[in-house]
Amino acid sequence: MKRHYMTTKYCELLLRLSHRQIEAFRAVFETNSMTAAATVIGVTQQAVSRLIRDLEAETNLLLFDRQNRRLLATTDAVALYREVRRSFYGLDRITRAAQLIRLKRPGVLRIAASGAPSHYLLPKIIKRFRSDWPGVRISLNVLPSSEVLNNVSLQQDDLGIADVPSSAPGVDIEPLPSLQFVCVLPREHPLARKRVIKPKDLRDTSLMLSSRTTHQHQRIMAALDFERVIPNIVFEASNSGPIRALVAEDFGVAILDQITAKAYSGQDIAIREFSPTIEYELKLIYPANRARHDRVQAFSELVHQEIELL
């Protein structure tokens, strides 16, 4: 009964006090110092002293004993602090809940991405994002890289992911950690015995590449031309799925981006380093002159994290 009475008394007391007085009291109690408390709540030491004096006058309680420049909390201060802590804990919970509601309120995240990241990188990221942002609906447009740029520049999508140049009109472009192209072969292919595949190794080999309209195709051809290798290209595709399936059928050897190759690693194929290094330079693409929503930034961070694990 006595405990209930004391709790009620201090709760009624808290209702009569200003938030600033309670805030100053809490800081002084937890730091045992007017100076430290002033730093915590962002005011001067004189202001903290005045708030504590006003609080003691309002409550008719002696809260701190001043002894040899030290502050000692009284038994009344301890009792008052218990109620203050409960009140602030509730306020902190409300503040955090409001932030979560604001950040994760329902909405749509529209993404445009080229084939490789759409099929082999984003599914895992989308799953992670969904667990953090359950109210957000995700829309994914799978497009050629040039169309990814176009969609984002027209603000039809909030975020783009593709291998594109470092700058383009109407968009802001952010580089992702650099990846490489690798050589993908049937596991029993003679070249699979090599640790590193070089252009000269591919002189008489049936080769499969991405379509010649892509940046990837152009980079691979430049590397082969530099070594004076005329490739025997037997198959091209805009999507790497058929290429991987044909590698497994021993139709030929492919040079693929690292994301696709890793997704297709298995017992039927071998993945080998290709030299000279050909960079696979994925970028994050944002509409220019537009504020980025928190959900866009959160998804971008997940993309960075996932690529760094490859």
Closest CA to 254 of 221, 215, 206: 206
Residues 163 and 93 in one domain: no
pLDDT at 283: 96
Both 162 and 209 in one domain: the answer is: no
One domain, residues 184 and 252 = yes
Residue 155: which CATH number? 3.40.190.10
How do strand 171-175 and strand 253-257 relate by DSSP bridges? Answer: unpaired
- pLDDT, tens digit (0-9, with 9 covering 90-100), for 75-117: 888 888 887 777 776 656 655 656 655 555 668 899 999 988 9
Average confidence score pLDDT of the chain: 86
Written as one string, the DSSP assignment of 174-215 is EEPPPEEEEEEEETTSGGGG-SEE-GGGGTTSEEEEE-TTSH
- For position 92, what pLDDT does the model report? 62
As a whole-number percent, the residues of the chain with pLDDT over 90 amount to 45
Say yes or no: 302 and 168 in one domain.
yes
Same domain, 274 and 206: yes
What's the pLDDT score for residue 6?
A: 46
Q: What is the pLDDT of residue 129?
A: 95
User: Is the predicted pLDDT of residue 297 greater than 90, yes or no?
Assistant: yes
| Same domain flag for 294 and 159 | yes
- Structure confidence at residue 81 (pLDDT): 84
pLDDT at 222 over 90: yes
Same domain, 7 and 37: yes
CATH of the domain at 63: 1.10.10.10
Residue 1 pLDDT level (bands cut at 50, 70, 90): very low
**Rounded percentage of the chain residues whose pLDDT exceeds 70:** 88
Task: State whether 92 and 13 are in the same domain.
Answer: yes
Say yes or no to pLDDT of 243 above 80. yes
Q: What is the pLDDT of residues 24-64, one digit of tens each?
A: 888 999 888 888 989 888 888 898 999 989 888 888 888 88
Domain residues for the domain of 142 are 107-177+282-308
What confidence tens digit (pLDDT) does each residue in 245-270 have? 899 899 999 999 999 888 877 768 99
Is residue 15's pLDDT more than 90?
A: no
What is the pLDDT at residue 276? 94
End-of-domain residue from the set 103, 128, 157: 103
pLDDT at 5: 44
Whether 173 and 304 map to the same domain: the answer is yes
Q: Are residues 288 and 227 in the same domain?
A: no
- The per-residue pLDDT for 109 is 94
Is 111 found in the same domain as 168?
yes
Residue 2: band (very low, low, confident or very high) from pLDDT cuts 50, 70, 90: very low
**pTM given for the model:** 0.64
Please indicate, yes or no, whether residues 152 and 234 belong to a single structural domain of this protein.
no
CATH of the domain at 248: 3.40.190.290
Number of domains making up the chain:
3
